[in-house]
Amino acid sequence: MNRSYTVSQLAEAVGGKLRGNGSATIRGVGDVSEAGPDQATWVSRGKYVERIAASRAGAVLVPEGFGETPMPAILCPNIERGVAALFAAFAPPVSRPAPGIHATAVIHPRARIGENPSIGPHVVIDEGVTMGDRCVIHAGVFIGRDTSVGEGCEFWPNVVIRDGCRIGSRVTIHSCSVIGADGFGYYFDQGRHNKIPHIGGVVIEDDVEIGACTCVDRSKFGATVIGQGTKIDNQVQVAHNVRIGRHGILVGQSGIAGSSRLGDSCVLGGRAVVLDNVAVGDRVTLAASAIADKDIPPGLVLSGNPAQEHRDELRERAHLRRLPKLIEQLKDLTARVESLETSAHHRP
């Protein structure tokens, strides 16, 4: 479905204030360098400001107080919220299962499903599952025995939730993620690796979103916990007995090893790793590919392997870049010293 708005209508839709002529028609969204006259764009960072002068966009979203623009501007009190509303205004409808329960879904007689569900084809819901109202369960989802699911959740195709997990309300889990698989635990005896049973579960609190192909392992005992409002990207590993605080961000391919703890509002960059039994304080940021091998106090920004304060890491990198030049200087000084020593040794 194609959507179009006048610039005035678009300003109202994104909660901004129009500056300039609002009569032009906008039919889509584009990058500031590529948008055409019937597209809206946005500028939220200083490095893109220079590109506005050459842009052909029909309208631009900018922060309040932004300078003059060659096209009509929509001044947004919160530019990120405004851009999200811009995308939502042009987003195509999302394909979801029809209201009700598909004929091919297999739901155990002792499962309890809330009101107004949308349950797609080939879904399996096992014995003892409880599910709140208005949940959307896409094709091929499996929900294991005695799992509880809150209201307004959405599980995309082929999500697997194993037995005994607790999922809060308004939780979104994207395709092919696995919640509650066994943790990775073995002991070596009699010449072989022997499995340690993992008898705990997983607790995912309200308003969590988990990306595609992510794994959150069940605990050996107690629970692996994902705190309220935390957002987890694709291909992330959360091991057994990990506890993640509220409103964290875990970027793709990051990993948290067993029994580690993350405080509230922590950020893990892409491929960042927290090793086992490490405690990370509130508001800590680990840069991409950083490896945390020891406890981290609150509020720090760290990078490198092993992770250290980012300023120290940058200083070390700067020194490393100077090494080739320093080595050449050292060779030259060594040659000079040897020359001087030889001259002194042969002096009459």
The pLDDT, as a whole number, for residue 322 is 81
Query: Which of 64, 27, 26, 19 has the alpha carbon at shortest distance from 43?
Result: 64
Task: Give start and end residues of each alpha helix (H) in the chain.
Answer: 7-14, 79-90, 310-345
Q: Is 198 a catalytic residue?
A: no
Residues of the chain with pLDDT under 50: none
Residue 171 near residue 207, CB atoms below 8 Å: yes
pLDDT at 348: 53
Select which of 198, 240, 310, 319 is catalytic.
240
> Quick one: pLDDT at residue 223?
97
- pLDDT at residue number 273: 98
Name the pairing type of β-strands 267-268 and 261-262: unpaired
DSSP code string of 192-240: EEEEPP---EEEE-TT-EE-TT-EEEPPSSSEEEE-TT-EE-SS-EE-T
pLDDT in tens, 296-323: 999 999 999 888 887 777 777 777 788 8
Q: How many other C-beta atoms are found inside a 10 Å radius of the C-beta of residue 329? A: 11
In contact, 180 and 196? CB cutoff 8 Å: no
Provide the pLDDT for residue 176.
98
**75, amino acid identity:** L
As a whole number of angstroms, the distance between CA 167 and CA 159 comes to 13
Q: Which amino acid is at 275?
A: L
DSSP assignment letter at 296:
B
Spatial CA neighbour of 325 closest among 315, 336, 333? 333
Nearby residues of 307 by Cβ (< 8 Å), 6 or more positions away: 286, 290, 291, 292, 293, 296
Q: What's the pLDDT at 164?
A: 97
Res 45: pLDDT: 72
Per-residue model confidence (pLDDT) at position 1: 59
Geometric angle at alpha carbon 287, from 234 and 270, rounded to 5°: 20
* Tens-place pLDDT, residues 88-144: 999 998 999 999 999 999 999 999 999 999 999 999 999 999 999 999 999 999 999
pTM score: 0.87
Burial classification of residue 16, based on how many CB atoms lie within 10 Å of its CB (0-12 exposed, 13-18 middle, 19 or more buried): buried
Domains observed in the chain: 5-90 (3.40.1390.10), 100-309 (2.160.10.10)
For residue 97 the two structure tokens come to 């299962």
Q: Is 316 left (phi over 0), alpha (psi -120 to 50) or beta?
A: alpha
* Predicted local distance difference test score (pLDDT) of residue 331: 86
